[in-house]
Structure 1
């Protein structure tokens, strides 16, 4: 029997993870580098999931700025490569990720090493001042609703200009002081703020800023960024807002997930000297923060009206009252009690107390107490 000649041999140039043998590695295929992940083996061959990769993604993997799954998701062409134990390639076949069983794929958010923690599934800008990563079923790699994108960009702009910018530079015209932002990365959505920019001539026109330098601006921004992350950690750990973290809440409230947003999780991250600092907020955690803020600001409210829509998946309903239509959100136990009540249906009358958040499109009420539920005859 004739021995099949290999298509080519893999020349490993960078081993990223190994366990008795290379499991995740970079090898040259022709003139290009490719990432290889071992997904299966037999007595004579091993199968690898492979895609082309450049140095930016290799660096991102090493530093925890992208997950392994994210690298494969980012490429249009992926291959299953079968090679013998000497890394001589016997066959290769182009595949979609749907053609590879989930048990053979790395899970979303898993990085190269456990110490890196949960990693984004899109590439985070290297040395970004702050990156904000939105995840959710309503955000897709292929496209995003224009209104969703512009709303989130506006929220990020509000955060950096009113919280991360030094107090003396807030409220200035964009032509005088602004921030550079990297290309938004889809799948879900990553927005990275790179660095501050300033027209120093205009900045120095004010007497109190005549001695200001661009290094002073960068130092002030970096200091406020670190204070912002410390304030976020304080806000989340206490579950009750102090005066300091109240300012932070005002800056991030429009970036927090809720039952109405296209995203269910948001992660704030920054990188300094190769060290990543991340804060992740789920929808449930965001609801707890909103409740704590409402308690500290005395915004308890009552809504009485007619149920016009019920969403069991998000444990919310729409209530039409004299104040308009309000989204009412319940915790799991309260919603289960409602579902067991025969009167819980569209058209019934409901009265609830809770923490109210006024919004442009529709107010949002975190329900603390169900006062009345009755069928309208």
Structure 2
């Protein structure tokens, strides 16, 4: 571990450091960008010793600095590198000494607290560029999820959970009942020190999609826009859930109306026996990046809500995947990924199906839920179909 008694690597012959872009200052530049030789550096003052200031420095680039300034990346994330320099500067910003350091050599107190942006008014920010620019990112934290490694079995379970959840969240409604080969997602390299799964962009198998007659009218742009919309809707729901939990407004009416979303969310949140201590979501929206963190204590409320839904009135939303006239029922694939048989009284069923084809359409239904291993059952009390703008009236 570095300390001031560590022999320096050199002194750079009294080179003067010139801050070319000051990002944070108080009685002088505290976090700034500069160039020494041909190296683009981000520097942060971490301590003062014997009338010199010690700065932590790492290589940087435009993308990192712009994300840091905009609040899309935390200070911790901007300095999350494998190697560093510690640089001693006098009052004239002349280099008096420097040290080459690996991350393990740098005292932990020299790093900013994770999740904090450059300025105090900025909201919680992600700790990696992968999260900052992802369509959707999920970050798991836990004692066994470290930078040096993750138990293989736990890694597989978290990746499988992420895969199932993200596909349920982002699959365009048009592709809800198609084979999995029609739609995939490109992810960034997995990032350890916790586990970050960051979705970069959707991947469509257009030849396979074109072979489905009902989907022939959709362009790749249409499907990409549908994925973006699903991501924005998810981000808005996350913010709403978190704010209601904080305001203690997580009442029966809200949980009934949002049951399908909450059930899906609960599938990836830590429970009492989980080795995961928190889950962080980062999602791009029309107004910027949304970051929401659920700690284990917060997740408990959501788990309790969805576990108590059996035999209660809930709202299900999904895509109609089958219609059975004989039993006055339809089958939907819920947004929570579960198949649900929905039973109507005859008059309501005739009203829904009379004169229109509801197969493959989105639908929202209110009724009493019975959970079952293979396919849940919903006794329908009323239903809603979306308008031309895709909104349920």
Is TM > 0.5 for Structure 1 vs Structure 2?
yes
2:130 alignment partner, SS class = coil
Question: Closer, same or farther in 2 for the Cα pair 1:135/1:60, shift >3 Å?
Answer: farther
Shift of the 200–99 alpha-carbon distance from structure 1 to 2, 3 Å rule, reads closer
- Distance across 1 between alignment mates of 2:133 and 2:306: 32
SS of the residue 2:127 aligns to: coil
- TM-score when scaled to structure 1? 0.70
Distance 1:133 1:271, change over 3 A: same
Alignment match, 2:70: 63
* Match of residue 170 from structure 2: 164
Q: Give the deviation of 1:5 after TM superposition.
A: 8.3
User: TM-score by structure 2 length?
Assistant: 0.68
Are 1:281 and 2:288 counterparts?
A: no
Find the counterpart in structure 1 of residue 31 from structure 2.
24
Determine whether 1:262 maps to 2:253.
no
Aligned pair partner of 1:120 in 90, 111, 126: 126
Kindly tell me the number of residue pairs found equivalent between the two proteins.
298
Match of 1:110 among 116, 137, 155: 116
CA distance in 2, matches of 1:148, 1:269: 22
How far is 1:285 from its partner?
0.5
Q: Secondary structure at the match of 1:133?
A: strand
Cα distance between partner residues in 1 of 2:372 and 2:191? 30
1:177 aligns with 2:149: no
Q: Which residue number in structure 2 is paired with residue 151 of structure 1? A: 157
Which residue matches 2:342? none
Match of 1:83 among 77, 84, 89: 89
| Shift of residue 271, structure 1, vs aligned partner | 2.2
User: 1:15: which partner in 2?
Assistant: 22
Distance change in 2, residues 1:67/1:17 (3 Å): same
CA contact (8 A) 2:126 2:291 kept: no
Aligned to 1:222: 228
| Alignment of structure 1 residues 279-358 onto 2, 5 Å | 279-297=292-310
90-99 vs 190-199, which moves further: 90-99
Check conservation: 1:7, 1:88, Cα contact below 8 A. Answer: yes
Deviations 1:180-228 (A, max 9, x none): 1111111222211122121223212222211101111012112222222
Q: Within 2, Cα distance between the matches of 1:86 and 1:14?
A: 17
Shift of the 184–102 alpha-carbon distance from structure 1 to 2, 3 Å rule, reads closer
CA distance in 2, matches of 1:106, 1:177: 39
For 1:40 and 1:233, locate their aligned partners in 2 and report how far apart those are by CA, in whole Å: 37
Partner of 1:52: 59
Distance 1:18 1:114, change over 3 A: same
Counterpart in 2 of 1:348? none
Give the Cα separation in 2 of the matches to 1:226 and 1:169: 18
- 2:250 aligned partner: 239
